[in-house]
Amino acid sequence: MSSTLLAAPGENLTAFDILLWVALPYASIATFLVGHYWRYRYDKFGWTTRSSQLYENRLLRLGSPLFHYGILLVIVGHIVGLLIPEDWTESVGISDSVYHACSAGLGIVAGVATLAGAAILIYRRRTTGPVFSATTGNDKIMYVLLIGTLLLGFGTTVFNNANNHPHHYRETVSPWFRSILSFRPDTDLILAAPLGFQLHVIAAWLLFAFWPFTRLVHVFSLPIGYLTRPYIVYRSRDRELGSRPEPRGWERIR
């Protein structure tokens, strides 16, 4: 075939494609990593959820676990769907149709829980006076990016699975995502995905870039030190058990 008819991979990319599918992902990853380092170095005391539990507890007790357990399931789904290549799941006997049925089922349960939790938390934030007063401009931008990413991801999943010929994102979005992580971006792959998937991914990169400057830093506050910290040492107040003599001036009042 003539070489003029066959475009080499990446040959037809515009500057805008490179901006969206190469520059944006790397700028976002760099800002995410350096931003967290900077925030930890210079704003250790601001590394907090800025909890509003003191102001309102009833709605928080319902919305918060729904949102957090839902998003944990969403994260597990993304790790499996984006990082595990299709031929790996096929080689252990999971057919494409079984994979898609499980991913759609779990994805929709996870998405509904996350969005329902988020709806309760936002309703609470808007209607509880002191919680609303404690909401900053930064929080509002964060909520728009977070909810935008969630709605675009969930909407895409629902529409895609309602379609008779669903798009196989494990042949486009997932290998593209891995090509970014391996520093060999293959932009043709993401350009082959439907618009809904592309918008979801752009929203996610914007969210990741803004993340280190928001309350979302609390995600990286696991009490890992608990695993290695010394046990709490209990000392008896019983005088007879202590072997050291009482220092002068510190004698017990009897």
Q: Tokens 């404690």 map to which residue?
A: 134
Q: How far apart are CA 39 and CA 215, in angstroms?
A: 11
Query: Taking the mean position of all CA atoms in its chain, how far away is CA 112?
Result: 16
- Least separation in angstroms between residue 204's CB and ligand HEM is 3
Helical residues (DSSP H) of the chain, grouped into ranges: 15-18, 24-42, 58-78, 86-91, 96-127, 129-133, 137-162, 173-181, 187-191, 195-210
Specify the residue, 52 or 174, whose C-beta has the smaller distance to ligand HEM. Answer: 174
- Least separation in angstroms between residue 74's CB and ligand HEM is 4
- Least separation in angstroms between residue 95's CB and ligand HEM is 16
Specify the residue, 107 or 185, whose C-beta has the smaller distance to ligand HEM. Answer: 107
- For 168, the token pair is 């196989």
Phi, psi of 141 (to 5 degrees): -65, -40
Specify the residue, 121 or 201, whose C-beta has the smaller distance to ligand HEM. Answer: 201
Specify the residue, 59 or 158, whose C-beta has the smaller distance to ligand HEM. Answer: 158
Question: How many CB atoms within 10 Å of residue 185?
Answer: 19
Residue with the shortest CB distance to ligand HEM: 153
Instruction: Quote the DSSP letter at residue 48.
Output: S
Specify the residue, 183 or 250, whose C-beta has the smaller distance to ligand HEM. Answer: 183
Specify the residue, 10 or 194, whose C-beta has the smaller distance to ligand HEM. Answer: 194
Specify the residue, 7 or 181, whose C-beta has the smaller distance to ligand HEM. Answer: 181
Q: How far apart are CA 18 and CA 180, in angstroms?
A: 12
- Least separation in angstroms between residue 233's CB and ligand HEM is 42
Q: Is 24 left (phi over 0), alpha (psi -120 to 50) or beta?
A: alpha
Q: Tokens 């709490």 map to which residue?
A: 232
Site residues, ligand HEM (CB under 6 A):
74, 77-78, 81-82, 103-104, 107, 110-111, 114, 146, 149-150, 153-154, 156-157, 160, 169, 173, 177, 197, 200-201, 204-205, 207
Q: How far apart are CA 175 and CA 172, in angstroms?
A: 6
- Least separation in angstroms between residue 58's CB and ligand HEM is 26
Please answer whether residues 190 and 170 qualify as being in contact, where contact means their C-beta atoms are separated by less than 8 angstroms.
no
51, amino acid identity: S
- Least separation in angstroms between residue 163's CB and ligand HEM is 11
- Least separation in angstroms between residue 228's CB and ligand HEM is 30
